[in-house]
Structure 1
Amino acid sequence: MTTTITKTVTKICLPLVILFSISLLLAGHNNPGGGFIGGVMFASVIALTYVVFGLDYIKSFFDPDWGKWFAFGLILASLTAFAAIPFGHNFFRSAVEFVHLPFFGEVELVSAGLFDIGVYFVVIGSLLFIFKNVGDDE
């Protein structure tokens, strides 16, 4: 049984930690962070929500197939790794492009960012798939 305080803190932490995990994901190429730690942060706050509110309550309105998240991330990361080969470059070669956007200025687009997004989804999918299946009674 959880208390009202625990439920309130979880409701407050949920959007903040998800935004922080996305921030870690996006900052990961040039600064500390990346897909792995961002995915762990996202999975931890969803796992906290499962523990506080109960798996059945969460499944009543939010029941994604975490295996599909894992598969999507694995496919995206793999395609990013192999994408340089048709262009005559080595496996995992990263491409960099600078784009000028209004209000933002010059923005660096890096193909390694797609790999980080793939890792992000692999980590979320695998951790929450395990957590949900261990926590399910069936």
Structure 2
Amino acid sequence: MTTLITKTVSKASVPLIILFSISLLIAGHNSPGGGFIGGVMFAASLSLLYVVFGLDHIKSVLNPDWGKWFGFGLLLSVLTAFGAIFFGYNFFRSSIKFIHLPLVGEIELVSSILFDIGVYFVVIGSLLYIFRKVGDDK
């Protein structure tokens, strides 16, 4: 059984941790971060909810099939890796485009972010699948 303070702090901190994991994902191709550590942060935030509120309560509120998340991420990563071959480049070649937005300025678009997003979903799906299976074991 957890306390009211633990439940309140976890409710407030989980959305912030998820936003931080997304910022790690986005910043990954230019600075430290990326899909792996962003996915670990996301999975850690949801595992905090599993611990604080209990597996049965979280399954009644949030019950996705984490195996499908894993499969989607793996498919996206593989398609990104082989995508360059369809355009006549080497395997895993990354493409960079710069676009100019009127109010924001110049933005760099990198195709490797799709690979990072795939890794993000693979890590989330695999870790939370494992956490849930271990928690279901009675």
Which TM-score bucket, shorter chain as reference?
over 0.9
Q: How far off its partner does 1:137 sit?
A: 3.7
Report matched runs for 1:1-138 at 5 Å.
1-137=1-137
Q: How far off its partner does 1:100 sit?
A: 1.3
Q: How far off its partner does 1:102 sit?
A: 2.5
Partner of 2:100, secondary structure, is strand
Distance 1:102 1:12 in 2: 35
Distance 2:26 2:102 in 1: 19
User: What stretches of structure 2 of length at least 5 have no aligned partner?
Assistant: none
Distance 1:60 1:126 in 2: 20
TM-superposition CA deviations, 1:98-137 (whole Å, max 9, x none): 1112321111100000000000000000000000011014
Q: Could you say what the CA RMSD is over the residues aligned between the two structures, in angstroms?
A: 0.9
Distance 1:107 1:116 in 2: 18
Partner letter of residue 87 of structure 1?
A: F
Distance 1:102 1:38 in 2: 30
Q: TM-score, normalized by length of structure 2? A: 0.97
Q: TM-score, normalized by length of structure 1? A: 0.97
Partner of 1:84, secondary structure, is helix
| Paired-residue identity, % | 73
TM-superposition CA deviations, 1:4-60 (whole Å, max 9, x none): 111111111110000000000000010111000000000001001001000110111
Partner of 2:31, secondary structure, is coil
Q: What is the aligned residue count? A: 138
Partner of 1:68, secondary structure, is helix
Distance 1:39 1:16 in 2: 14
User: What stretches of structure 1 of length at least 5 have no aligned partner?
Assistant: none
